[in-house]
Every structure is written in structure tokens, then in C-alpha cells.
Amino acid sequence: MKHLQKSFRIVALTLVYSILTLFVQAQEYALTGKVIAGGVEIPGAVVLLSGFQSNAITNEKGLFSIPKLKPGKYDVIVRMLGFNPTSQSIEITNKDVYLEFVLKENAQILNEVVIKPDDNREYNMNIFIQNFLGHSPNGKLCTILNPDVIQFSFDDRNRILYASATDMIQVENKALGYKISYLLKEFEANFATNTIFFAGLPHFTPIKARPAQVNNFVKNRTKAYLGSMNHFFSTVYKGTTEAEGYHVYLRKQIENPDRQPEDLIEAKIQQFSNHAFANTKSTVFSAADSLLYWRKEKKKPKMIKFLDTNKVDMASLARRFNSDLKEINFSHDLLVLYQNESEVNTLSYLQMKLPRPPKYKNSQASAVKLLHNSIKFYSNGILFDPRSALFEGYWSFEKLGDLVPLDEEFKIENLK
């Protein structure tokens, strides 16, 4: 790991959680089930809904029940001391759902696995914390309470740092007033491409606080949600993008007209590299000057980006994929500018700030790059495929520290 660049910075963040809940009907249903291990019912197991604050505890027969769930897709997590946490995805349509979970013993917790010393752990943990919790003011007020459950491995050939966890990661967010239990599914820090991907299932528990503190938490949570990736895609789904403070432009890319053709550059570098070894002094200087010129040409970017000054009509860009999903596709990157909140100063320090027209100098700016045929998303703004898009700018700056649950309502009036 010592060969890695310490100037590593995150330029992309895809999905942080994958709960896909759709509030489309008034009818409510119950999720019931049983938790067992080795054929024996497990009492006291904690059953959580990812992205929500709902939970249940299994009784002496290993049974649990979570009532009043609206139709939609849910990720259900079960956690019990001494066992590996596990999860199942379910869809509630028009009836109650029953699930059965079979737990497996956690060999590491039972001291059956010896952990080898890791000379790079402190460095790896620093990379993980920065890109898991985030650099934002909210992220800086988060603490991982059980860092010992996090393990690292490194792929030297592809220069990718992987992280996994033997138990749910416990995070205290003092800015938003939550304790988050996070079931980490994937974490990859790719030093070759300077990109981060992580995904998992969070559960939120409010921190007990005085009324004045609660009011402050509500303001901070609302501020964290408005302008977020989930908020943006929810407005695209509803067709209210511009009304809720977003302006969107195409960030086009063309060949650099100030750069010589690649074939010519390579040929000239080869030509003057050979001439530089000529015997006469004047020939050496002439070849060296020419070689310097062509090497400078080589360093120029092959492609340059410019902003199309015509706004993108997101309502016309979005189309229905099925009864639950909408999708968008585009040939050039999107520049998304949120006008209702300014960027924080630390963004420029981290070199994540994106160029934009002067009138948007204080707006939160994010870029969206399409990686697959389209980006599909639900009404709550959650992406169907976390790897369908790459994000730069403000949305790559905000991480778990700015994540809020889906069963709270956030309105701009909360900020008053």
C-alpha cells in the first residue's frame, strides 16, 4: 500500500443504500417471521428495515412482527450477537408477508479466526472513514463506534482497496441525531481510476435529545436531504425538478482543437528523440526544442468539455420504464445545479468543485455520467442499479454522514 498516492480523492459515489420502497397505496400490511439457528428458535434477535427506523425483537419462540407497512420493496436485516448479520429482500403487494431467517455463527466473534497483523490498517481505515462517512460538516461529526469489525484487503494488480465487515458497522451521527447500523455489502476504493463505490443497508435509530436539540436535528436532516441525489431523482420522477430548485445542463465533450493529432505527435516524438543524439551542437538544440514542443502536445487533453447553455427539460427526458420505475438516458454528462443551498468551502479544498456559469457560482454542482444504457429510479429517488451512473462534484462529497431515513418527511419549511 505504500506505493499508493496519498492525494487520492473520491470523484464518484453511487448508491449508499438500496431500499426500494414505493408509497403508492393507502393499504398497510404486516411483515412477520421467525429467526432460527441450527434448528433452534432464536429469541432476542433484532429485525431491522433498511432505510427506516422500524424494528422488532424476536420473542422466546423466535417470532417477530413489523406492522403497518405500505406496499413496496424492502430489505430486511437480522442481527444477533454471535451470529453473522443477514438480510433478505422482499416485496409487499396486496397481502402480509412471512419470512424465515437462518443464522450462521460468526466464527471470528467466537475467536475461531486469528486476525493477521495489518501494517497498513491505519492508512486503510483513514481512506475508508473519509469516503464512507464523507468530508461534509455532517460527515465530520460522525463516529464509527466499532471499527474493529472492519477488515481490509488490497488487490495490488488492479490497485483496489476492498473493505468488509464481520458485523454491522455502528455509526453515531451527532449532526443529524441518529445512530446508524450499517450492513456493508461492498466497498471499493479504486486508486487506478480514483473512484469509490460502496453499497449496503442502513437502519436509523434516533438519538434521545431535548426538544431544542430535536428541532436542530430536524433542520439539519432537512438540509441534508434537500439537494441530495435522492431528492433530485425524486423530483425527476415527479416532474418538479426546476420548481424544487434544480437547473440541469449538458456537459458536452469534443476533441481538443488545440491539440495535434495523436499519430502525428507519436511520430514527431520518435523522430526528434532520434535526432537528439546527432553530433552537431546546433542539431541537438533544434531537436531538443522540437521534442519539448511535441511532448507538451502529448500532455494536452485529447478531449475538452464545454457546457451547452440550453437547459435540459428533465420532465421530457424522463420516461416510464414500468409501473414502478422511470428512466433517463443521455449522450453527454449532466451538470446538475441546486440553487437553494450553497456549497461548503471545504469542497474547493478537496478539489471536487466543478466549473459552472458565473451565475451559479454559489450553487451546489454535481455531474452525472451514464455508465449503462440508462439510469432507472424509483419515486423516492433511489436508483435501481447503483452502478448505472458515476457522480462527480457535490454528490461525491456527501456520504453516509448526510444520509437520512425514508420514513421521515423533509420540507423546506423545516428550515425556518
Distance in angstroms (rounded) separating the CA atoms of residues 339 and 28: 37
Name the residue among 252, 256, 234 with its Cα closest to residue 243: 234
Distance in angstroms (rounded) separating the CA atoms of residues 385 and 383: 5
Per-residue pLDDT tens digits for 277-289: 555 545 555 667 7
pLDDT band at 20 (very low <50, low <70, confident <90, very high): very low
In this structure, which CATH number among 1.10.357.10, 3.20.190.10, 2.30.110.10, 2.60.40.10 belongs to the domain 29-102?
A: 2.60.40.10
Per-residue pLDDT tens digits for 33-91: 999 999 999 999 999 999 899 899 999 999 999 998 887 788 999 999 889 999 999 98
Per-residue pLDDT tens digits for 367-399: 999 999 999 998 888 888 878 999 999 998 889
pLDDT band at 412 (very low <50, low <70, confident <90, very high): confident
Distance in angstroms (rounded) separating the CA atoms of residues 65 and 57: 8
Cα distances (Å, whole numbers) of residue 137 to 45, 203, 224, 355, 400: 34, 21, 10, 22, 12
Compute φ and ψ for 25, nearest 5 degrees: -140, 155
Instruction: Label residue 110 exposed, middle or buried (CB < 10 Å: 0-12, 13-18, 19+).
Output: exposed
Give the model's pLDDT for residue 23. Answer: 42
The domains of the chain are located at 29-102, 229-253+306-397, 260-300
Per-residue pLDDT tens digits for 222-235: 999 999 999 999 99
Sign of the C-alpha dihedral computed for residues 319, 234, 144 and 83 taken in this order: negative
C-alpha cell at 327: 428512466
Q: Are 19 and 382 in contact (CB under 8 A)?
A: yes
Q: Are 42 and 62 in contact (CB under 8 A)?
A: yes
Give the model's pLDDT for residue 279. Answer: 53
Give the model's pLDDT for residue 37. Answer: 95
Taking each helix axis from N to C terminus, what angle separates 262-275 and 281-299, rounded to the nearest 10 degrees?
Answer: 150
DSSP state of 399: -
Per-residue pLDDT tens digits for 162-208: 999 999 999 999 999 999 999 999 999 999 988 888 989 999 999 99
Q: Are 246 and 235 in contact (CB under 8 A)?
A: yes
pLDDT band at 271 (very low <50, low <70, confident <90, very high): confident
